[in-house]
Amino acid sequence: MSPGFSPRALRSAGVVCVVAVLAVATGCTSDADLAGGDTAGSQPAEPVELTIAPQDGASEVAPDTPITVTADNGTISDVTVTGPEEADPDSVDAITGTLSEDETEWTSDWTLTPGTEFTVTATGESEAGETTEVVSSFSTLTATEGKRLELKANTPVSDTEVGVGMPVMVEFDYPVQNKAAVEAAMEVTSEKPAQGAWNWFSDKRLVFRTKEYWEPFQKVTVDMHLAGVEAADGVYGIENHRLEFTVGRSQISNIDEDNSHMTVERGGQQVKEFPVSLGRATTHEYTTTSGTHLTMSRETDFRMSNGTLGVPEDDPEYYDIEVDYGVRISWSGEYLHSMPSNNQLGEANTSHGCINMSLEGARWFYQNTLLGDPVVITGTDRILPVENGWGYWQRSWEDWVANSAVGEADDTTQPGTPGSPHGGNAA
């Protein structure tokens, strides 16, 4: 029996059969006959021995400690882990594990909710087919008030339909130091093949992007296994979260500064073309940024003014206008928006940096845009920075993977993530 386990926890389900040999005397009986002959082949096989860690009765276990089950003299056939209540096996709170190829070691995939008692039930089988079950319980350390990692916000939100360029953006309420462990706790699963990786844009902001645009018409699930991950010294996540969204049709808009037109493609086929007017480029601020933008929000009946940039009302360049339809594509104030008063659409670039459109064109674009639709602008000498809006496609895929804390891309059709969420407590 393994040390640290209660005798009540070890229950053998195997039955050992003892075979008696009956000899019918027809003459003299030897001493060997009386002893039952050669009994070497009738020795029972050793039972499988299962060892669970953390050990039975342990308390204040670090929540990022992995649960392990090992087997000697046999293999592991089943392991279940339950907390105060048994989680749905398909939920983000289910404690799953990975079994080694030789089926002698099982390791939990994710970290554990702080301040919780867990029960591990493991079943093994000996070479002779005997089964043994071991039950062990332990409790985890409670997260300290004021040192708890919590999810502040995520974009997109669940049950949203998004464009093919949509990243996953997560905001935490506490600065993360152990970035690789937190990345490894964020599991992205898609119905169609994709390679993706996470990048940090501050100690609290984490962004997932794929190598290529998402394939359209599929469901994406993000399981944030944050409960128990150590985000900083003594700082633990306290709750898991699941985000589910749908990638819709593929719509990509292309704008060339040289010809002042925008084409809209769906599924690779052009569906619309609009005359537009880009920034006049007389100053850096009045130059439209080139690069791959994403649609960030849709607005109607709103005011636009460069007074927010410090331009005084008596300046000849000052403007304060009412806009019927607009779609934001950067944090620096760039929109595709209606501007019926611009009589040079398709002929000249005269705006203050936005993409001016007709009322009808802006209405169509507003009504037919999903968040995360790519808008690719070319021809200007002002490049969209990666941190401006959702400019994450501005970073090359090689640099994106290199900027991941785990340094490796994730296959989103496979379970798990690169790296380990267990941090310094991994075995």
Percent of the chain with pLDDT over 70: 88
Q: What is the mean pLDDT of residues 254-271?
A: 96
Residue range 314-361, pLDDT digits in tens: 777 777 788 999 999 999 999 999 999 999 999 999 999 999 999 999
Active site residue 293: no
Quickly state the pLDDT bin for 258 (edges 50, 70, 90).
Answer: very high
Q: Where in the chain is the domain with CATH 2.40.440.10?
A: 251-393
Of the pLDDT bands very low, low, confident and very high (cuts 50, 70, 90), residue 7 is very low
- What's the token pair of residue 48? 């499988």
Cβ(351)–Cβ(259) below 8 Å: no
Average pLDDT of the residues of the chain: 89
CATH of 251-393, one of 3.40.50.620, 3.30.300.30, 3.30.470.30, 2.40.440.10: 2.40.440.10
d(CA 276, CA 375): 13
The predicted pLDDT at position 28 comes to 39
143 in Cβ contact with 114 (< 8 Å): yes
Give pLDDT, residue 358: 97
Mean pLDDT of 273-287: 95
pLDDT at 303: 78
pLDDT, residue 124, reads: 98
Active site residue 354: yes
Give phi and psi for 71, each to the nearest 5.
-125, 135
φ/ψ of 356, rounded to 5, equals -80, 140
Give ranges for CATH 2.60.40.3710 in the chain.
Answer: 148-249+399-425
For 301, how many CA atoms within 13 A lie in the half-sphere containing its CB?
A: 0
Residues of the chain with CATH 2.60.40.3780: 7-139
Q: Which two tokens stand for residue 259?
A: 């010809």
Q: Token match 């296994």: residue?
A: 225
**139, 81 contact by CB (below 8 A):** no
Reported as a single tens digit per residue, the pLDDT across 68-108 is 999 999 999 999 999 988 888 889 999 999 999 999 999 99
Choosing from 241, 337, 352, 422, which is the catalytic residue?
Answer: 337
* pLDDT for 19 beyond 70: no
- pLDDT of 220 > 90? The answer is yes
**Coil vs helix vs strand at 359:** helix
Give residue for tokens 């990975």: 98
pLDDT at 322: 86
Task: Give the type of residue at 149.
Answer: L
User: Quick one: which H or E segment has residue 327?
Assistant: strand 320-328
pLDDT digit string, tens, across residues 112-138: 999 999 999 999 999 999 999 999 999
Dihedral angle sign, alpha carbons of residues 245, 251, 254, 255: negative
Least confident of 6-15, 136-145, 311-320: 6-15
Contact present, 239 and 150 (Cβ < 8 Å): yes
The pLDDT of 373-399, averaged and rounded, is 98
Q: Is the pLDDT of residue 44 over 90?
A: no
How much is the pLDDT for 314? 75
Residue listed under structure tokens 């060892």:
51
- Label residue 10 by pLDDT band (50, 70, 90): very low
> Would you state the CATH architecture of domain 7-139?
Sandwich (2.60)
DSSP run (H or E) holding 398: helix 397-402
Supply the Cα-derived Rg of the chain in whole angstroms.
Answer: 32
User: What does the block give as tokens for 296?
Assistant: 């960030």
Is pLDDT above 70 for 426? no
Report the DSSP pairing between strands 320-328 and 297-305.
antiparallel
Please give the class, per CATH, of domain 148-249+399-425: mainly beta
Given a cut of 70, whether residue 275 has pLDDT beyond it is: yes
Instruction: Give which of 274, 279, 257 is closest to 376, Cα–Cα.
Output: 257
**Active-site residue identified among 225, 293, 352, 354:** 354
Q: Considering the entire predicted model, what is its pTM?
A: 0.86
Nearest to 423 by CA among 163, 197, 229, 166: 229
Q: Where are the alpha helices (DSSP H) in 22-103?
A: 31-34
- Compute the 3-state secondary structure of the chain and give helix, strand, coil in percent, each to the nearest 5: 10, 40, 50
pLDDT of residue 87: 81
On whether the CB atoms of residues 356 and 276 are closer than 8 A, the answer is yes
Q: Report the distance separating Cα 343 and Cα 336, nearest Å.
A: 16
